[in-house]
Structure formats: structure tokens, C-alpha cells
Structure 1
Amino acid sequence: MNESTEAGATTITLLLVDDEPSILSALRRLLRKSGYAIHTAESGKAGLEILEREPVDLVISDMRMPEMDGARFLEQVRARWPNTMRLLLTGYSDVTSTIDAINRGEIYRYIAKPWNDDDLVLIVRDALERQRLTRENARLLALSQAQNEELKDLNANLEEKVRLRTAEIVQINDFLNLANERLKQNFLTSIKMFTGLIELRAGAMAGHSRRVADLARRLAKHVGVDPREQQDIFFAALLHDIGKIGFTDSLLARPVSRMSGEDLVFYRKHAATGAAALMPLDELKQAAQIVRAHHERFDGQGYPDGLEGERIPLGARIISIANDYDSLQNGMLAERRMSPEEAQALLVQSRGKRYDAQLVDAFIEMLGGLKKEIVLEKPVSHADLKVGMVLSRDLVSREGVLLLSSDYILDTSLIRQIQDYARRENHTAPIYIRTPPPEENKQ
């Protein structure tokens, strides 16, 4: 079945696959408001038949379907139509199948049932924007390579022509760099989305992974870890609890000190489960190894592998300290929530046993030197932007498309592109930038 916009218009085409006609009808009603051409199919086989005869930009597939489930269907879509974006509809009870679908079908996002209409529309829009950026990046890269070859053939005496061509290449490279930065930002956004899967369950875990990631990155930098490894540690800290995605609400809410028997055995599997879920992604292989080892103890009494001392990856030893420091204060390890001072004292008491003694000392030193961060902001017009300013809020288009995320540091190229966009689109809304606290102003 197909619905389309007016003839002659350039249309984005979606394929909706679900064995329940009521679900297909609800999705069709929601998405056709955005002007998409929509195909529907009530089975994976029917969906493949449509793909064989019609070009499709994005597929949304249910997970549980007879004969061919969503994982198998999206795996075939990835293999035969790799440029088609893939989204998965699933429920909390489908955790294992969802991870299988993510690994086999390389889906961009998954959408939990029941969905929020506004969130689903934004996810579809974001996926299509990611697809457009990837295609544009490839086109610009091919164009840049072609122009580089053309430059080799230019006559050395045609200096003016070389100058003009060089200027064009500089502009293309600026756009390529911006596109690559946006792809990197999308990757980080995806990681944060995985982190949020557990924290959506609220309770003491809300914000836990982000706090642990911040502390772990600070400690890694404090002890001189190289920037590449700092990034792996940061990603691993954000995702260290992803293996808890299959936990019941009651188990998530229970402090570790109150667990026993089967619950404790099940709890101790989450580090290995999380690592296995991340390992298929090349960009997260190192982070996966850190996630697996973040509950190992320095004295060899930890899990899942009983590693001892420096056989435990450095990133895992760092995250172990940051994780327990935050967990002790939020009631995730013991029933009584501890003060920061009490949590520090317990870390010191366990140095050389549970934790690496040198890292504990460095962590306590780091905490003593941390200043309370004060984030102030002010609105600035496009014309008044300056190199070095830092965005305090996401910069979005009129249509809600993310142009630059918060914390971007502006340089000359970005300022020029923002100002060109503002003039072209008559976009007069202010841009919010961070201002330093008073102590920094005095320096």
C-alpha cells in the first residue's frame, strides 16, 4: 500500500512494517502529516517485496512478527539496501531480541512501545537528517577528490586559476569538517541515548552515568591518560550500566548490600552482558573491555574474571572508583546514603584492596582541587559572535533541526557559516553563549 504527496514533488519515502493493521494505521496517520510517501506491509516478506520494486529512504519495523521477525528483516535490509535508514519498534520485554537486532541490522535507533507521537516524529526526522548528512558528506568528499585530481593537471603558469580552485577546495573542506563534526556529535548523542535507557527508570540511577563519566574523565586527565584513552574511558563510563537494561524495577531499586542468592548472581552478570552488547561496534571495542572489567577488584576478588592489580584495565580501575563514589552517595550500594566525605573515607579505607591505591590518592587530590562549576549565559546576536565563544544551548533551525550542539567552541569558519545561514533564512533569534564565573574574569 502506498500514499504519496502531490505529483512532481520530491518526496521522502517511508516503509512501515508491522503484522498489526492497527499499528500500521496509527503510524500512517501520524507520519503522513509530514508529507512523506508511505508504503505499508504486514510482514517482513511483503516489506522486502516492496523494497525490491520501490526506492525507500527509511524503514520502521516491528520486532515481533510471525515467520520473519524484525531482527531478520532489518538484517536483510542492511545487506541489500545499506543506505536505507532502519528504525525498530519494540517493547521492554524484548531486550535480548532488541540487542540482536541492533547488532545484526545496524539500526539507527529503536522506539519503545507505546511511543510518544512527538518523539517518534523527531526520531524519524533525525534519522533522515543523518542520512542526508552522510550522503552529502560522501558527495562532498568525492567532489573534493575530483577537484584535487584536476589541480594536478593544471598548468603551473595559471596561477590565478589555481588560486580560485584552491579557494573552492578550502570552502568544500570547511563543509566537510562541519559534516564530520556533526556525525561525531550524532555518535555521542546515540551513546547518551543508550545511557538514558536505564535512567528512564528514575530512582537513584537518574543522572548516575553522566556523573560517573564526568568524574572518570577528570580523573583520567588528572593522572595523565592520553586523550584517545580518555575518550574510551568517558564512553565506557556513560555505558557502564547498559547491562542492567534487563533488570526488573524492583532489582534496580534495591541496594547491592540487600541482594542475595539468585538476585546477586543475576546482578553480577551485568558487566559481561553490557560488554557483549557493545563489542560489535568497532568504535566501542575498547570501551566494551573497560565495561566488562569495571567491577573487578584490585585484590582479585571482583567479577566477572577475577582480575588482579594492573591486569585490570586502567579505565576500569578509574571507573570503579568514580562509580562507587557516586553510588555510595545515592543509595545504590547501601541503604544509607553517605555524604561526600563519608564516601571518600570509605574509598581510602579500601585502597589497595578493592581499589588501586595510587588512583584513590589521585582521586581524593582531584576532588580537593575541583571548583564548583558555575555556568552563566547571555544572548548574543549573530553579528556579535566572536572566536572562542562557547554555546550554552543547542543551536537549531526553524524546523527544529540541530545545527550545533551545546558546548561547541566557535571558530572563524563556524561563525561565518552561522552568519550566512542567519542572513539566508532571516533567522534573527539570539544565540546563547556561556560566560565564565567571576573568578575567571579576574584572571
Structure 2
Amino acid sequence: MTPAQPLAAAPPPAAPAAAMPTLLCVDDEPNILASLRRLFRPAGYRVLLAESGAEGLRVLEAEAVDLVISDMRMPEMDGARFLAQVRQRWPDTVRLLLTGYSDIQSIQDAINCGEIYRYITKPWDDNDIQLVVRHALERRALEQEKQRLEALTLRQNEELKQLNHSLEAKVEARTLQLKLSRDAAIAANDKLKHNFVTTIKVISSMLEMRGGALSGHARQVADLARKIAVHLKLDAREAQDVFVAGLLHDLGKIGYSDDMLATPLTMLHGEELGLFRKHPVRAEQLLMPLEDLRGSAAILRAQLERFDGNGFPDGVAGLAIPLGARILALAVDYFNLQQGAMVQRHLRADEAKSLIINASGTRYDPHVVNAFRHVVDSGGGDEASGVEMLSGELVPGMVLARDLVSRDGLMLLAADHVLDARMIQQVQDFEAKSGGRLPIRVRPAKEKQ
């Protein structure tokens, strides 16, 4: 067979050719190469093709290539050997492995020798492979920018060493200015993260306003789910994803009728039961546009799955269910059993706990059930979070250790809020008007992270 000549996609009219990322696709199957070219050309990429590893190396010698997609199984030179040479000769070129085989050893060889960025299985999903390529190129661009900045910093440091001693004061002033800017940026980022979680809590409270009897339910679920996650030693990001999923676990029920929401799960039948089982998928779809909530969205999708595989919507079982979803399912059911949302009567906490323990291994993950028992039996460790105080004992500078919540379950102030004189007066006025004492837990300002 005559080696196929590299084919380049024409650049879009609005963008100069030099600005287009260049992809090299290497596969011994022409139809695969044609498919990849049809997929990436309309997306604004310059696409080069090669039908063997040797031909791919020749293309790389003649062309500047940003990313290589190589098949694993090729005659003469397989993908692992080819990508190893690419790594050695063109280390800045991103390397992806395309394989239709479940050959773990081959994939390991490609990872170890070629240091590939990702591997993609055949048949691929067009959206997934486009996303992988886009992310890979973005990462490469960020790495190049990082190297540029590091080189710039090194050069500037060398120049600074050559300056006269009289400039030391200016250098110190500039260093202080940069430190202050960095500290300000970190503080602003921390504030954004805090406001993001606070916004989720507010949205959760708004979702519960349809049913006053359930006010505070989502926060109870979220708090229990997070405590279980912490006991299971999930990292901070995973624990937060579980917490947010707990706050939004009923998000997919927006639009359901009041009668349906008030009906216990065991009393739902036919279309209503089918509609209820769709709420996890609806919740996932609502959150998917928000990249920071995709972890929570995946948890919400699987919240009705069962450990024995008889759940919804995907019927997955055991450890195939995301751990966050296994935690959330238990936390939701624990409070729903007590509030009459699952069965016709309201169970006591100890009755709900017994039902959950009895369903270990069928409905719930036994590992999660054990963690749940530990958290519930130990009281959850709430008392270690700050000191409970009366509103009249508050002083400016104190920091809320927990969300300040009204007796109706509505959040008044978020945890980590620094109290000032005006806010303390508002809390006291609220207590006077509502005729009830608020549960306030605070810590000194110096403990705020």
C-alpha cells in the first residue's frame, strides 16, 4: 500500500492558519482516520493523517504538531512504541492513545513509555473525544504559558541580581506589593467559594418554601451526609460535593404537584411513581451547565440506586455506584422515614435507624451503614464546633461556627460570617419579633480559616 500523504484541514475563514491547533491521527485503518478527520475538521483543527507509526514520525519531522492521537494495535510499530518515540523527540506534543482492546498491559506500556495524557476506547463518543482533545490542548497551552512565565521570572531575577545596591529598597517595596496583591487575590477567591456555598444553601431554602413542614430537611440531610463522608475520610472536595448534593437532593422535583410531593413513596404507583424515579436525572441535567457542580450532579443522578442493583435510573450495583451517592441515599432515607415521606407514618429516629441497618447489603452499602451508625451514635461531633451562646452575649468579631437557622428552617446567616455590631443587633431584633431563641454557635475570630 502506498503510504497516505498527510492531509491538512483548511482553516476557518475567520481564523489565521497559524492559530489553528494541529492534530496528527495515526491508525492503520483508513476508515478510522477518515472518521477522525471528519470529526475534528469542522471543530477548527488542522488535521494530519498517517497510516503507520513510521509515517507518523516522518510527519512530525516535517510539521509542528500540537497533539497526537495514535491507535494501539498497528503492525510493525504499535502505539506504545510510537508514542515513546514521540515523547523522546517531541516532549511538548500531547499524546493520546486510541484502543479498541481491553489490553491492560499495552495501556500500561503506553503510559509508562509514552507518558500519554489519556487513552480513549473504540468505539468512541464524539462529544467525549472532542472534550478530551480540547482539555488536552488547553492543558498544553497552560503548561507552555507556565514555562514562559517561569523563564520570564528567572530572567528577571538574574537582572535584579545585577542591579545596584541602591535599588534594594525598590525591590523590597515591589515584593511587598506583589505579596499584598497575592493575599488579596487569595482572600477574594476564598470569599467567592464561601459565597458559592452560601448561594446553594439559599437556593435549597427556597426549594423548601413550598412545604413548611419540610423546612430545614435538606440541611439535615446535607449535614448528616457530610459527617458520614468525613468519617469515611473523603477529601475536602468530595465531602463538599456530597454536602451540596444533600442540599439539592430534591432539585429534580421542581414542577411536581403538591399532592404528589405530599404522598409517601410507598403510596405512589403508575405514572406518578415513574415520574418520581426521574427526579435524579432531572437534577443532574439542571446542574450539568455548572462545571463546579458536576461532582454533585453525578451524585444526584445515582441517589436512587440500590447496593443490590435494583435501583434507578441505571440499575448499577455495589461499588459501581458513586460513594457520594451511596452516602446521600442513606442520609435522605433516614430523614424521609422520620418525616413520613417514604411510608405512611412518621417513624422515630431509632426506628428509622433500625430499618436502615436491616437494609445493609441490599439497599445500602454496609461500609456506609457502619459509618452512619458511628456518626449517629456519637452525636455527629456537633458540640466540638464552636461554643453555643445567647444573642446578648455576642460581641463584634465573633465568627459563626454553623449556619444560623430560624425555627422554620430558613438560613439567616451562613457559617463563617464575621459578626459586627449591626448584625448582632439584627439577630437580637429577630429573636424579639419571633418570640424564640436562635441556636447560635460561634468561635473567636482568630480561629476563622
TM-score tier, shorter chain, comes to 0.5 to 0.7
Seen in structure 2, the aligned counterparts of structure 1 residues 299 and 379 have a Cα distance that, compared at 3 Å, is same
* Equivalent residue in structure 2 for 1:376, among 371, 385, 389: 389
* Equivalent residue in structure 2 for 1:218, among 219, 227, 230: 227
Are 1:278 and 1:288, in contact at CA under 8 Å, matched by a contact in 2? Answer: yes
Q: Which residue of 1 aligns with 2:259?
A: 250
TM-score by length of 1: 0.54
Hey, what's the Cα distance between the residues in 2 that align with 1:319 and 1:379? 35
Q: Which residue of 2 aligns with 1:261?
A: 270
Seen in structure 2, the aligned counterparts of structure 1 residues 156 and 407 have a Cα distance that, compared at 3 Å, is farther
* Equivalent residue in structure 2 for 1:209, among 199, 214, 218: 218
Letter in 2 for 1:217: R
Q: Which residue of 2 aligns with 1:311?
A: 320
Hey, what's the Cα distance between the residues in 2 that align with 1:267 and 1:283? 26
**Is 1:340 paired with 2:353?**
no
Task: Kindly report the root-mean-square deviation, in angstroms, between the aligned alpha carbons of the 2 structures.
Answer: 3.4
Seen in structure 2, the aligned counterparts of structure 1 residues 340 and 393 have a Cα distance that, compared at 3 Å, is closer
Give the share of equivalent positions with the same residue, in percent. 42
Q: Which residue of 2 aligns with 1:49?
A: none
Letter in 2 for 1:315: G
**Is 1:355 paired with 2:364?**
yes
* Equivalent residue in structure 2 for 1:301, among 307, 310, 331: 310
* TM-superposed deviation, 1:394: 9.4
**Is 1:365 paired with 2:374?**
yes
* Equivalent residue in structure 2 for 1:277, among 279, 286, 299: 286
Q: 2:337 is paired with a residue of what secondary structure?
A: helix
* TM-superposed deviation, 1:149: 11
Letter in 1 for 2:289: P
TM-score by length of 2: 0.53
Hey, what's the Cα distance between the residues in 1 that align with 2:342 and 2:334? 10
Unaligned runs of 5+ in 2: 1-149, 405-412, 428-439, 444-449
Query: How far does the alpha carbon of each residue in 1:38-72 deviate from its partner, in whole angstroms, 9 at most, with x for none?
Result: xxxxxxxxxxxxxxxxxxxxxxxxxxxxxxxxxxx
* TM-superposed deviation, 1:150: 12
* TM-superposed deviation, 1:197: 3.6
Q: Which residue of 1 aligns with 2:46?
A: none
* TM-superposed deviation, 1:314: 0.4
Unaligned runs of 5+ in 1: 1-144, 396-404, 411-417, 437-443
Hey, what's the Cα distance between the residues in 1 that align with 2:271 and 2:403? 45
**Is 1:166 paired with 2:175?**
yes
Are 1:197 and 1:245, in contact at CA under 8 Å, matched by a contact in 2? Answer: no
Hey, what's the Cα distance between the residues in 1 that align with 2:423 and 2:201? 28
* TM-superposed deviation, 1:151: 7.2
Q: 1:375 is paired with a residue of what secondary structure?
A: strand
* TM-superposed deviation, 1:435: 4.6
Letter in 2 for 1:227: A
* TM-superposed deviation, 1:357: 1.2
Seen in structure 2, the aligned counterparts of structure 1 residues 306 and 169 have a Cα distance that, compared at 3 Å, is same
Seen in structure 2, the aligned counterparts of structure 1 residues 428 and 266 have a Cα distance that, compared at 3 Å, is closer
* TM-superposed deviation, 1:218: 0.2
Seen in structure 2, the aligned counterparts of structure 1 residues 429 and 310 have a Cα distance that, compared at 3 Å, is closer
Which has the greater radius of gyration? Answer: 2
Letter in 1 for 2:313: P
* TM-superposed deviation, 1:430: 6.2
Query: How far does the alpha carbon of each residue in 1:208-258 deviate from its partner, in whole angstroms, 9 at most, with x for none?
Result: 111111001000000111112111111111111100011111111111111
Query: How far does the alpha carbon of each residue in 1:256-280 deviate from its partner, in whole angstroms, 9 at most, with x for none?
Result: 1111111111111101111111112
Query: How far does the alpha carbon of each residue in 1:397-425 deviate from its partner, in whole angstroms, 9 at most, with x for none?
Result: xxxxxxxx643288xxxxxxx9xxx9xxx
Count of residue pairs brought into register by the alignment: 264
Q: 1:352 is paired with a residue of what secondary structure?
A: coil
Q: 2:309 is paired with a residue of what secondary structure?
A: coil
Q: Which residue of 2 aligns with 1:390?
A: 399
Q: Which residue of 2 aligns with 1:25?
A: none
